[in-house]
Amino acid sequence: MWRLRECALNDEQLGAALGVSGNAIRNRRAKPDLWKLSDVERLASHFSLPTTACTHLDRDLKEFPNRLRSMPPDERRRMERLLLLKIAQFESYNKNDWPVRYLLRMHRALLNGS
């Protein structure tokens, strides 16, 4: 994200490079929690940065609902409460893309909960 500050492209040009509108870029610059995981991966690719973390995170997020289902009910409910997301929400975000704000919220919850 720090590369955005150094980027010589205007919002319209950067939007075209990432496959979103210039208005979407303006909104996301103003409210960084509107970025989605796929946006971050496209940004990394655009700036020739590694996308390994995005790829691994996406893979793990897609596997997580099945892991939750295999947990004992008490443990599954504890994990859902900790992450503030239910299995159905996980599956929905896995299909429609993860907002960065939810990823950050889960990260903070896991740090505080452990």
Look up the pTM and report it. 0.79
Alpha helix (H) ranges present in 1-114? Answer: 2-6, 11-18, 22-30, 37-46, 52-70, 73-83, 87-96, 100-113
pLDDT in tens, the chain (114 residues): 656 667 778 889 888 888 889 999 889 888 888 889 998 898 888 888 899 999 999 999 999 999 999 999 999 999 999 999 999 999 999 999 999 999 999 999 989 875
Question: What's the domain range around 102?
Answer: 53-113
Tell me the β-bridge partners of 82: none
**27 and 72 housed in the same domain:** no
d(CA 11, CA 19): 12
Same domain, residue pair 43 and 21: yes
Q: Which 3 state secondary structure label does DSSP give 99?
A: strand
Is there a single domain that holds both residue 16 and residue 32?
Answer: yes
CA 21 to chain centre: 19
Q: Domain count of the chain?
A: 2
Is 53:77 a contact under the CB 8 Å cutoff?
A: no
